[in-house]
Amino acid sequence: MFFEILDDKIELPYKKLKAVSSGPTVLIGVSGCGKTATCYHLCRTRFALYFDCYASNNMMYLLQKIAQIVPTEKSEETQWQFENKTRHYISCLLLSRLLVLDYLLSKDPLLCSFDWLKYQLSSRTE
């Protein structure tokens, strides 16, 4: 026989994450391992901040800003300044998303998490 039927049910990654994580979740993996699909499934069921490093204008701008401030000479002081500015830029990006979400919820209290995901994915809303 070329295949075997298993009795065990396959647990999808997003269901496992949803069951064990109520706080911030960061997914890191190789290309093609299912991170995007897992994120989409999670974002359909709960409000989340979604960033795509390749397709998001916000992320591209953030990466450009960070590249501009990389110190040419590394010392404890320049490293501290770089990390501090990087944290500031990332905090600004996160805060801006949260402010937009807060505004949308104030205008439409019935806004669902899937609609919020669609706002974040739309290039016209960045």
Per-position DSSP letters for 69-110, written without gaps between them: T--SS--HHHHHHHHHHHHHHHHHHHHHHHHHHHHHHHH-TT
Average pLDDT, the chain: 82
Tokens standing for residue 105: 């919820």
pLDDT at residue 109 greater than cutoff 70: yes
Asked if 100 and 119 touch (Cβ cutoff 8 Å), the reply is yes
pLDDT, mean of residues 66-71: 94
How confident is the model at residue 18, as a pLDDT? 67
pLDDT, mean of residues 12-40: 71
Alpha helix ranges (H) inside 28-75: 35-45, 57-68
Integer Cα distance of 23 and 81 in angstroms: 29
Integer Cα distance of 25 and 18 in angstroms: 10
pTM over 0.75: no
